[in-house]
Amino acid sequence: MLPLADLVLPTADEEIWRYSRIDQLDPGSFTASHPRTVVSGGAGATITSDRVDDIVEPDVFAQYNTEYQTTTVIDVPNGAMVAEPIVIDHHTVAGSAAFPRTVVRVGEGAQCTVVERFTSEAHAASLTVPVVAIEAAQAANVSYLAVNDVDTVAWQIGHQILTGHRDSTINISTVTLGGHYTRVRTESRSAGQGASLRQVALYFAAGDQMHDFRVHQDHDAPHTNSDLLFKGAVQDRARSVYTGLISIREHAKGTEANQTNRNLTLSEGAWAESVPNLDIRNNDVRCSHASTVGPIDPEQRFYLESRGLQPEIAERLVVLGFFDEVLSQLPALELVNELRTRVATRLSIGGAR
C-alpha cells in the first residue's frame, strides 16, 4: 500500500494548482479508511462494489483513489430506463481519508440519474478524495448530481471524468457548500459526433472556506455541444476560483460550446476569481464565455428594501434568487427544496454584510 504520509503533494507553483490551498494540506495527518457508503435506488441497473483500476489518473490524488478505492459501479444495460434516481451517500469520519470511486456506465440509448452526496463528521478534519467516471454510450442520457456538504473544516479533492459518445447527453450538476478547501476537477470529453454536455454548479463559501473548480470541456468530435453555467457566492473571508477551458480540436467542426461563470462577493473580505479560457482549433464553431465577479446589484437590494425588507432578508432573497437558475436545473427535484433550504440556512449564519 501507498502510505498517505508518502503522498508527494503538488505545489501551488504548478498552474493547475494555482490559487489552491494545496500547500496547507498534511496528508499524513489522516488515516486511510472507507467512508460509510450507502447506495439506494436503481432498479433496472446493476450495482456492484467491484474494484475498477483502469481509470485515467491525472494526479496523485487519483492515484491514491485507485489504491484505496471504495467502489460503486453502476451499469445500465442498453436501452434500459432507470426511472428512480440512484443515490449514493458517503460519510467520512473524523481524522480519516476516504477514497470513494464511482463508475457509471450507461449503455446505448439507456437513461439514468445518479446523485452522490458527501458529508463528513461535524467539526472534525477529514479528507475525502472522490473520483467519479461517467461514460455515456451512443444515444445514452445520464444525469449526475454531486452534493458536497462536508464540514467546513474538512478537505475534499475530487475528480470527475466524463465521456460522451455519439448523440449522448450528459447533464452534470455540482452543489458545493462544504469544505475548508473543496476542489472539483472536471474533465469532460465529447468523444462522439453529436454528443451533448450540460454542466451546472452552485457553490457557496463562508467563513474561511475555499472552493476551487477546474473544468475542461474537450470537444473531440464534430457537431458536439457543451454548455456550462457555474454560479457561486463567497462571504466573510471565503474564497472561490473558477478556471475553465473549452478545447475544440481540429476535427470538431460545427461545435457549439459556452461557459458562463457568475460570482457574488457578499463581504469586503471575500474573494472570487474567474478564469475562462478558450482553445479553438477549428473555424466552423460557435463559442462564448462570460464571467462576472461582484457584489449584489445595489438596485436589486434597494428595490427590496424599499418594499420594507430588512437588508439581511433582502440580501438572502437576492442570493437565493441568483442561485435559482442553477437549482431549477438540478435533476432529482425532490432534493432541490432541501438544498434550497440548506443554502438559505448557510446564508443566514454568516452575517452576510
Partner 1 sequence: MTVLSISGLRAEIASTGTEILRGIDLEVASGEVHAVMGPNGAGKSTLSAVLMGKPGYRVTAGSVTLDGVDMLALPTWERAVAGLHLVMQYPTEVPGVALDDVLTEALKSRGRATEGLNADLSAEAERIGFEERFLHRPLNVDLSGGEKKRNETLQLAVLRPRIAILDELDSGLDIDALRDCSRRVEDLSNDAENPLGVLAITHYNRLLTELRPDHVHILVKGQIVSSGGAELATVLETDGYAAFTGQDDEPAPSGSSLDDLFRI
Three-state SS string across 150-219, please? CCCCCEEEEEEEEEECCCCEEEEEEEECCCCEEEEEEEEEECCCCCEEEEEEEEEECCCCEEEEEEEEEE
Using the structure block, give the residue that is written with the C-alpha cell 488515516. 31
Q: Does 269 bind partner 1 (CB under 8 A)?
A: no
* Residue number with CB closer to partner 1 (162 or 336): 336
Q: Does 292 bind partner 1 (CB under 8 A)?
A: no
C-alpha–C-alpha distance, residues 65 and 52, integer Å: 10
Stretch of 43-51, 105-113, 312-320, 329-337 lying at the interface with partner 1 (CB under 8 A): 312-320
Terminal-residue alpha carbon distance, the chain: 48
Q: Applying CB under 8 A, which of residues 310, 337, 341, 348 lies at the interface with partner 1?
A: 310
Q: What does each C-alpha distance from 222 to 18, 192, 327, 347 come to in angstroms? A: 32, 8, 31, 43
Q: What does each C-alpha distance from 41 to 82, 83, 84, 86 come to in angstroms? A: 9, 9, 6, 5
* Residue number with CB closer to partner 1 (57 or 324): 324
Closest CA to 319 of 282, 266, 272: 266
Say how many residues make up the chain: 353
Stretch of 147-155, 191-199, 268-276, 319-327 lying at the interface with partner 1 (CB under 8 A): 319-327
* Residue number with CB closer to partner 1 (53 or 338): 338
Asked whether 220 and 250 are in contact (CB, 8 A), the reply is: no
Residue partners of 108: CB distance under 8 A and separation at least 6: 78, 79, 137, 138, 139, 140
Pairing of β 141-148 and β 169-176:
parallel
Q: Applying CB under 8 A, which of residues 65, 114, 322, 347 lies at the interface with partner 1?
A: 322
Q: Applying CB under 8 A, which of residues 50, 54, 299, 334 lies at the interface with partner 1?
A: 299
Q: Applying CB under 8 A, which of residues 146, 161, 270, 314 lies at the interface with partner 1?
A: 314
Q: Does 303 bind partner 1 (CB under 8 A)?
A: yes
Q: Does 304 bind partner 1 (CB under 8 A)?
A: yes
Classify 127 as helix, strand or coil.
strand
Closest CA to 90 of 52, 57, 49: 49
Q: Does 323 bind partner 1 (CB under 8 A)?
A: yes
Q: Does 300 bind partner 1 (CB under 8 A)?
A: yes
Stretch of 210-218, 220-228, 252-260, 318-326 lying at the interface with partner 1 (CB under 8 A): 318-326
* Residue number with CB closer to partner 1 (28 or 294): 294
* Residue number with CB closer to partner 1 (161 or 304): 304
Stretch of 32-40, 58-66, 198-206, 296-304 lying at the interface with partner 1 (CB under 8 A): 296-304
Q: Does 302 bind partner 1 (CB under 8 A)?
A: yes
Q: Does 324 bind partner 1 (CB under 8 A)?
A: yes
Stretch of 39-47, 103-111, 205-213, 291-299 lying at the interface with partner 1 (CB under 8 A): 291-299
Give me the residues that bind partner 1 (CB under 8 A), please. Answer: 297-300, 302-311, 313-314, 317-318, 320-325
